[in-house]
Amino acid sequence: MPDIQFQNLAPEHWKADVMLIPFCEGEVDPGRHPELDKAVPWLAVAPALRDLRGEKDELALIHGHPELSVPRALAVGLGPRNAMGMDVFRKAIAEAVSLCAKKEFSSVLLPEPLLAGLPGGRERLVEEAVYAALLALHRFSALRRKPERPAKGPERIALGFAGDNPDYLHAAARRGENAADAVGMARDLANMPGNLLSPQAIAERAEQLAGEYGFACTVFNEAELEKQGFGALAAVGQGSARPPRLVVLEYAAEGHGQEKPLIFVGKGITFDSGGLCIKTATGMGEMKSDMSGAAAVLAAVAAAARENVPRRIVGLLACAENMPDGSAMRPGDVVRTVNGDTVEIVNTDAEGRLALCDALAWAQKEWTPAAIIDIATLTGACAVALGRGLAGLFCDDADLAERMRTAGGTCGEPCWELPLWKPYAEHLKSEIADICHTGPREGGAIHAALFLRHFVAESTRWAHLDIAGTDWAEKSSALCPKGGTGFGTRTLLELARGGVL
Ligand code: BES
Ligand code: MN
Ligand code: ZN
């Protein structure tokens, strides 16, 4: 992804291969914008403008003289003003930037004074424009000899500012850039195949990021996990040649070291074969992304540290590979978790909740959390219930749930609340152990959430985000190619940026 640049100049001095001109429907009138008239004076008299309506998905490339400092304008339709939400805006910008990449324009300019006239608030629009423009260009190219085509696209994305004191807008642009970097990183991790990304590899990546961005990282190996009583996480990893890890990320801004931490817990199954209850071949390859939750936590904590958000944050990545072999956990096995409870394992393919329950219990032993948010590709049932566009949110704390919905809603990662339905806890009773880790198939996402609930104290503020439907895109779109979506990363970052929970 290119860096974002600023042109703090009078519009007549802006310079780029192409300038994006976003319009709401029926508002295609360059005469309304004096800055535009200065930057691309030829646009007002361009005959091509007459046919434009500013409809959603409308893109029109308009040429001026090739030797001008801004020789092209790309008009971007946004649809009716009263229906232009941030989703529409992000998609339009991403489509426009994708077109610029296809045409191999080397620099794109986003005119801030024009964005300012759109609904949504000036800072938000700058942040979202930068976010969408950068993510439109992001590709997973670590495993190719030659990067894919969009990598040839714009080397420079610039924001044109006409005002005299745009400091707070610069900060907004940096937030957009930082969020795009984080989501891009989470996507890359999810796309990385199982053979190349083991629990230990995630730990090493975390250590590297910790050094780079300034936070602490501690890794528990299998011996340490056993000593600390992580019987459930250890069981998940015991069938793999590559042992489990718990990665502990700790960040605190100066002066915030003593406050209650906001704790993020991510499911980090680097490959989920199902274990002895092995999955069918169809779609098993997608299970390389069963560490999307951990990727979101790692990327969000790194981004929060990079931004120096004024609070204390802990991230826990519960990492293991779920494989079948002679030492794998069996259906019927009973293991002991961090909080001392015994768990009867019914289906070895329900490994995520085993990895998470130890991390959740341990988090409460180590800290007094301001809140715990866990994020996991936990159940196919959640994807069946809500489809691929919505994550499942489980939370009994009305205020925290509202914050989660707002954070996800504004940043393009919507979630929908599903119930922690107490009567179903009955289904998790075991004949021989303290709790059984799966219930009936019907209501599968709820049973998984209720199992986690068992490991969280009533008094702890907790939310669980099931991203099994949303972490992977089946088809490419302008904002996200087919593959890992990085879903949840930005929600966590948004929570980290927000006030005290
Ligand atoms: N990682 C899967 C859930 C999943 C499925 C994520 C499809 C993304 C796409 C999880 O570990 C799993 O296998 N869950 C089982 C639970 C069942 C055995 C109780 C499921 O959903 O079928
Ligand atoms: Mn599974
Ligand atoms: Zn899984």
pLDDT digits (tens, 9 = 90+) for 13-28: 999 999 999 999 999 8
What Å distances lie between residue 464 and 64, 75, 263, 418, CA to CA? 53, 41, 12, 10
Q: Which of ligand 1's atoms lies nearest the C-alpha of 439?
A: 19
Confidence of residue 165 (pLDDT cuts 50, 70, 90): low
Q: Which CATH number fits domain 180-497: 3.90.220.20, 3.40.50.300, 3.40.630.10, 3.40.50.10330?
A: 3.40.630.10
Q: Please state, in angstroms and rounded to a whole number, the distance separating the CA atoms of residues 41 and 34.
A: 9
Ligand 1 midpoint to CA 442 (Å): 13
Q: Which ligand is nearest to the CA of 441?
A: 1
Q: Is the pLDDT of residue 127 over 80?
A: yes
What Å distances lie between residue 271 and 194, 266, 347, 393, CA to CA? 5, 14, 16, 24
Average pLDDT over residues 359-368: 98
Q: Which of ligand 1's atoms lies nearest the C-alpha of 471?
A: 8
Show me where the domains of the chain are located.
3-163, 180-497
Q: Is the pLDDT of residue 69 over 90?
A: yes
Q: What is the mean pLDDT of the chain?
A: 96
- What percent of the chain is modeled with pLDDT above 70? 98
pLDDT at 501: 72
Q: Is 146 a catalytic residue?
A: no
Q: Where are the beta strands (DSSP E) in 52-167?
A: 59-63, 72-77, 107-111, 156-161
> Using an 8 Å Cβ cutoff, are 263 and 369 in contact?
yes
Residue nearest to atom 16 of ligand 1 (CA): 350
Catalytic position from the list 174, 260, 279, 405: 279
Task: Tell me the per-residue pLDDT of 237-278, one tens digit each, with 9 for 90 and over.
Answer: 999 999 999 999 999 999 999 999 999 999 999 999 999 999
Fold identical between 3-163 and 180-497? Answer: no
Confidence of residue 134 (pLDDT cuts 50, 70, 90): very high
Confidence of residue 32 (pLDDT cuts 50, 70, 90): confident
Ligand 1 midpoint to CA 378 (Å): 6
Q: Residue 468: CB within 6 Å of ligand 1?
A: yes
Residue nearest to atom 17 of ligand 1 (CA): 350
Q: Is the pLDDT of residue 151 over 70?
A: no
Second CATH level (architecture) for the domain 3-163: 3-Layer(aba) Sandwich (3.40)
Average pLDDT over residues 408-431: 97
Q: Please state, in angstroms and rounded to a whole number, the distance separating the CA atoms of residues 368 and 262.
A: 9
Q: Is the pLDDT of residue 499 over 80?
A: no
Q: Which ligand is nearest to the CA of 444?
A: 1
Average pLDDT over residues 286-305: 98
Q: Is the pLDDT of residue 150 over 60?
A: no
Q: Residue 485: CB within 6 Å of ligand 1?
A: no
Q: Please state, in angstroms and rounded to a whole number, the distance separating the CA atoms of residues 73 and 335.
A: 63
By most ligand atoms within 8 Å of CB, the mutation choice from 379, 446, 485 for ligand 1 is 379
Catalytic position from the list 353, 453, 461, 497: 353
End-to-end CA distance of the chain: 33
Q: Residue 349: CB within 6 Å of ligand 1?
A: yes
Confidence of residue 65 (pLDDT cuts 50, 70, 90): very high
- What percent of the chain is modeled with pLDDT above 90? 92
pTM exceeds cut of 0.85? yes
Residue nearest to atom 22 of ligand 1 (CA): 380
Confidence of residue 500 (pLDDT cuts 50, 70, 90): low
Confidence of residue 292 (pLDDT cuts 50, 70, 90): very high
DSSP 449: H
Q: Residue 381: CB within 6 Å of ligand 1?
A: yes
Q: Please state, in angstroms and rounded to a whole number, the distance separating the CA atoms of residues 378 and 287.
A: 11
Q: Is 288 a catalytic residue?
A: no
pLDDT at 33: 86
Residue 320's nearest CA partner among 342, 298, 343, 353 is: 353
pLDDT at 417: 98
Confidence of residue 152 (pLDDT cuts 50, 70, 90): low
